[in-house]
Amino acid sequence: MEHKMKPESLMMSYGYRPEWSEGAIKCPIFQTSAFVFRTAEEGKAFFEVAYGLRAPRSEEIPGLIYSRINNPDLEILEDRLKLWEEAEDCAVFESGMAAITTVLLEFLRPGQSVLISNPLYGGTDHFIKKILPQFGIAVLEFYAGMNEQEIAGAIGNVPDQHPLALIYVETPANPTNALIDIEACKRLARRFSQNNNEVVLVVDNTYMGPLWQHPLQHGADLVLYSATKYIGGHSDLIAGACLGSRRLMKRVKTLRTFLGNMASPHTGWLLLRSLETLKARMDIQAANARHVAAFLSSHPAVEKVYYLGNLGPSDGEQFHIRNRQCLSYGAMISFDIRGGEPEAFRMLNNLRLVKLAVSLGSTESLAEHPYTMTHADVDVNLKARLGITPSMIRLSVGIEHYEDIIYDLRQALDSLL
Ligand SMILES: *Cc1c(COP(=O)(O)O)cnc(C)c1O
């Protein structure tokens, strides 16, 4: 029987052959705009396939034309990203927002509506609530932590003239780690699909990265990433990715070609390098987070800790969703300190090793204040409803030694006592 390699074993070489590049062990940066055709006939054939004028003949591989349409660094990167969640196809973008907005623009039309979970990443929230309505798209909302009946209730408000076309979900929710049942959302997407109108379920999986949750296996049609976060993971690039079936990804890739928001060859190359250590980094981050969460739960200046590993049977549905959906407790921890904004700021200003910065999933630990930073733009009443208060600090646990992270957090928290 053939041995099936694990994705982490394939990240160093999959999809690349040294003979393509003078024997170079690593895929070089193909920093080029266009690719030379051997003959005019070959150029014609490449365009026919790229523009879908005819189906590729058997054994015919799409030829390289122009880096907005295809580039080896991006294609190899996409082939490797597919392995983590056994997706049929993948497209990488110049940012997470580019991936998100391309999907929304491709699958929503004027006169339709989109159902979203709350809270959403600030940029996504802005695009959906402030920009999509200008194109005649209605927005329906529900909250992380709601059950299937309650979500169905939110869809129940769909105006007849605005059929539901897309469900957009972020789980675990940022910054509270509240969970949404992807399978329940899929059942609702099926229930509200009509003959010529398929409701597409899209999940932003940035918070769990490609390792810790596989939304496609729970019924999501498309999964999105800010590759700036765990996939890039070194706080040195901005990128995005979308994965799903060949059928839907063909539409996503076509719109990407015409919006021109693909990642650059250099970003693609940096991501190839990052993917080699993705599993190692994420394993360490999750292991560190367990120690850090235990420490925070025991510190007298900490009121409450929001961490997937802290969910127990008494948390009901949230506990069951975690057990079904999440393969790890992740490395994102939020916590409420005793006190308000001044105390939270004092703690943040006292950090020495942990960086005071937004973003997440990086090699270095990062801390920020959601109320006044990442979620500054969110409606005050909504923040209250979601439990995002001035007492909350969000922590992304990095790969430093956990004793050093805890040492730094302790000295900063001790300043509140
Ligand atoms: C950062 C982030 C985004 C946006 O990605 P960019 O790479 O910054 O464009 C989208 N969703 C989530 C959950 C994020 O954390």
> For the chain, what percent of residues have pLDDT higher than 70?
99
Greatest mean pLDDT among 47-56, 60-69, 206-215 lies in 206-215
Provide the β-strand partners of residue 278.
none
**Site to substitute for ligand 1 among 170, 229, 334, 394, most atoms within 8 A of C-beta:** 229
Q: Does the pLDDT at position 314 exceed 80?
A: yes
Asked which of 275, 294, 324 is the last residue of a domain, the reply is 275
Q: Return d(Cα 102, Cα 199) in angstroms, integer.
A: 17
* Ligand 1 center from residue 198 Cα (angstroms): 26
* Ligand 1 center from residue 243 Cα (angstroms): 15
Record the pTM: 0.96
In this prediction, residues 58-70 reach a mean pLDDT of 92
The pLDDT, as a whole number, for residue 185 is 97
Q: Mark whether 252 and 378 lie in a shared domain.
A: no
Q: Return d(Cα 276, Cα 80) in angstroms, integer.
A: 10
Q: Mark whether 222 and 93 lie in a shared domain.
A: yes
- Whether omega before 172 lies within 30 degrees of 0, making that bond cis, reads yes
Higher pLDDT, 2 or 368: 368
Is any atom of ligand 1 closer than 6 Å to the C-beta of 95?
yes
In this prediction, residues 203-213 reach a mean pLDDT of 98
- What is the pLDDT confidence band of residue 250, given thresholds at 50, 70 and 90? very high
In a domain, 21, yes or no: no
In a domain, 85, yes or no: yes
Is any atom of ligand 1 closer than 6 Å to the C-beta of 226?
yes
Q: Mark whether 269 and 355 lie in a shared domain.
A: no
In this prediction, residues 17-27 reach a mean pLDDT of 96
Is any atom of ligand 1 closer than 6 Å to the C-beta of 229?
yes
* Residues 106-159 pLDDT 10s: 999 999 999 999 989 989 999 999 999 999 999 999 998 888 999 998 888 666
**Number of independent structural domains in the chain:** 3
Q: Mark whether 239 and 283 lie in a shared domain.
A: no
- Domain ranges, residue 329: 278-414
Long-range CB contacts (within 8 A, 24+) of 362-365: 362/229, 362/233, 362/234, 362/235, 362/396, 362/398, 363/233, 363/234, 363/235, 363/281, 363/398, 363/399, 364/235, 364/398, 364/399, 364/400, 365/395, 365/396, 365/397, 365/398, 365/400, 365/405, 365/408
**Site to substitute for ligand 1 among 93, 120, 121, 237, most atoms within 8 A of C-beta:** 121
* Ligand 1 center from residue 121 Cα (angstroms): 7
Token pair of 210, please?
A: 């490609």
The pLDDT, as a whole number, for residue 173 is 92
Q: Mark whether 181 and 257 lie in a shared domain.
A: yes
Q: Mark whether 265 and 344 lie in a shared domain.
A: no
Token pair of 165, please?
A: 């076309």
The pLDDT, as a whole number, for residue 156 is 80
Sign of CA dihedral 269, 271, 274, 279: negative
Within its chain, how far is the Cα of 373 from the centroid? 19
* Pairing state between β 332-337 and 302-306: antiparallel
Is any atom of ligand 1 closer than 6 Å to the C-beta of 307?
no
Token pair of 375, please?
A: 């979620």
Greatest mean pLDDT among 8-17, 48-57, 186-195 lies in 8-17
Q: Mark whether 109 and 199 lie in a shared domain.
A: yes
Is any atom of ligand 1 closer than 6 Å to the C-beta of 97?
yes
The pLDDT, as a whole number, for residue 157 is 66
**Site to substitute for ligand 1 among 101, 228, 334, most atoms within 8 A of C-beta:** 228
In a domain, 73, yes or no: yes
Mean pLDDT (the chain, rounded): 95
The pLDDT, as a whole number, for residue 197 is 87
- What is the pLDDT confidence band of residue 77, given thresholds at 50, 70 and 90? very high
- What is the pLDDT confidence band of residue 313, given thresholds at 50, 70 and 90? very high
**Site to substitute for ligand 1 among 125, 226, 358, 359, most atoms within 8 A of C-beta:** 226
In a domain, 12, yes or no: no
The pLDDT, as a whole number, for residue 71 is 96
Token pair of 328, please?
A: 């790890």
The pLDDT, as a whole number, for residue 159 is 62
Q: Does the pLDDT at position 261 exceed 90?
A: yes
CATH of the domain at 181: 3.40.640.10
* Residues 349-394 pLDDT 10s: 999 999 999 999 999 999 999 999 999 988 899 899 999 999 999 9
Q: Mark whether 247 and 100 lie in a shared domain.
A: yes
In a domain, 10, yes or no: no
Q: Which atom of ligand 1 lies nearest, measured to the CA of 239? A: 7
Asked which of 231, 250, 275 is the last residue of a domain, the reply is 275
* Ligand 1 center from residue 50 Cα (angstroms): 29
Q: Mark whether 117 and 229 lie in a shared domain.
A: yes
* Nearest CA, atom 4, ligand 1: 96
In a domain, 153, yes or no: yes
In a domain, 224, yes or no: yes
Sign of CA dihedral 265, 271, 273, 275: negative
Q: Does the pLDDT at position 1 exceed 80?
A: no
Q: Mark whether 285 and 398 lie in a shared domain.
A: yes
In a domain, 18, yes or no: no
Sign of CA dihedral 360, 345, 416, 370: negative
Asked which of 247, 275, 303 is the last residue of a domain, the reply is 275
Is any atom of ligand 1 closer than 6 Å to the C-beta of 374?
no
Q: Return d(Cα 407, Cα 288) in angstroms, integer.
A: 13
In this prediction, residues 21-42 reach a mean pLDDT of 97
In this prediction, residues 22-36 reach a mean pLDDT of 97
CATH of the domain at 384: 3.90.1150.10
Q: Mark whether 200 and 86 lie in a shared domain.
A: yes
- Which helix (H) or strand (E) is 53 found in, with range? none
Q: Mark whether 77 and 142 lie in a shared domain.
A: yes
